[in-house]
Amino acid sequence: MTRAFALHPGVLRAVLRRMFASKLAGFLNILVIGIALSLPAGLYTLLQNAQGLVVQFSDTPQISLFLNMEAKTEDVDQLRKQLAQHPAVAGIEFIARAQALEQLKQSTGLSDLIGGLEQNPLPDAFIVHPKPGGAQALDMLRGELAKLPKVKEAQLDSAWAYKLEALLKFGRLAVLILASLLSLALIAVTFNTIRLQILTQREEIEVAKLIGATDGFIRRPFLYFGAMQGLLGGIMAWLIVTASLLLLNGQLGALAQLYASQFVLHPLSPGDSLSLLLFSVYLGWLGAWLSVARHLSQIEPH
């Protein structure tokens, strides 16, 4: 067992020498894999950053509760207690009728016209700030609050929430489809690369089989080749995504200042970076394994 493990470093060094026997060809193969992997990885990173951008620039959804005109002070106090104790409510703000009328005067510039009204037509209202949740949860909360005593109407502008959820779901699906297609393409690239390696080493493989080499012994260098090529391609993809984000942040800084924001594009997290590298290694190994399983069985010593 110890001797078997001792063989792996030597096999790995031989694989690296073979991979970069032609430095330009080896680099171009890794570059192609890196570019292909960087596309879904970059889109995934932008999607993750877009979620933070929406949170920063979008107002928190609010539910406006308009009370009946006959609601009294004790009714308002009772409703305030109910809202404050609700587990899905993060905060509340009470707007009295007089305050709402004054705000209307200032925002419309029709203070003379509004001042001529015989009575205040606006009701007391509560602005409810829900805790973070999905669009369906917001609708359920609105329906529940609309049934509270002395509440005449409850309004929720949840259109943005539905659009946001639909957009993010579409983005995730697009990234998944793109990643799946490019993964198949990378497996095909590795498959063909290993096929060429097997064909160029056909005589060596035949000799190895004649002297009793097992299929596992013959298969190992090719699997190492595919896995190492995938790993280097994953590192190249990580470098491409990181460098692209640095360039974009340079231009984004000036744009963010116009909106008095400190928003920056964050790179892949350590967990996502590790997942990218492991996934690229797996794709390379899988392509090599499929190719070896397909072509190695066709080579038999004469």
The one-character DSSP state at 123 is: P
Q: Domains in the chain, start-ordered, CATH in brackets?
A: 2-57+162-298 (no CATH), 63-156 (3.30.70.3040)
Phi, psi of 177 (to 5 degrees): -65, -45
Residue 14 pLDDT greater than 80, yes or no: no
| Model pTM score | 0.63
Q: Strand 151-156 relative to strand 89-95: parallel, antiparallel, unpaired?
A: unpaired
Residue 161 pLDDT greater than 70, yes or no: no
Residue of 287, 186, 142, 285 lying closest to 227 (CA atoms): 285
Amino acid of residue 41: A
Residue 278 pLDDT greater than 90, yes or no: yes
Confidence category of residue 98, pLDDT binned at 50, 70, 90: confident
Mean of pLDDT values over 174-189: 89
C-alpha 263, offset from chain centre: 17
Amino acid of residue 17: R
- Burial readout 34-51 (b: 16 or more C-beta within 10 A, e: otherwise): bebbbbbbbbbbbeebee
Residue of 195, 239, 175 lying closest to 40 (CA atoms): 175
> 207: which residues sit within 8 A by CB, 6+ positions away?
301
d(CA 165, CA 163): 6
pLDDT at 89: 86
Phi, psi of 93 (to 5 degrees): -140, 125
Confidence category of residue 90, pLDDT binned at 50, 70, 90: confident
pLDDT tens track for 54-69: 555 555 678 888 888 8
Residue 165 pLDDT greater than 50, yes or no: yes
186 against 25, higher pLDDT: 186
pLDDT at 274: 94
Mean of pLDDT values over 272-281: 92
Q: Decide if 152 contacts 166 (C-beta within 8 A).
A: no
d(CA 42, CA 66): 46
286 against 302, higher pLDDT: 286
pLDDT tens track for 231-275: 999 999 999 999 998 888 877 766 666 555 566 778 888 999 999
pLDDT at 240: 94
d(CA 158, CA 136): 9
- For the chain, the residue count is 302
Mean of pLDDT values over 72-81: 86
Which uninterrupted H or E stretch holds 154? Answer: strand 151-156
Angle, nearest 10°, between helix axes 23-57 and 159-200? 170
pLDDT at 5: 41
Helices (H), the chain: 2-19, 23-57, 73-85, 97-108, 111-115, 135-146, 159-200, 202-210, 215-258, 270-295
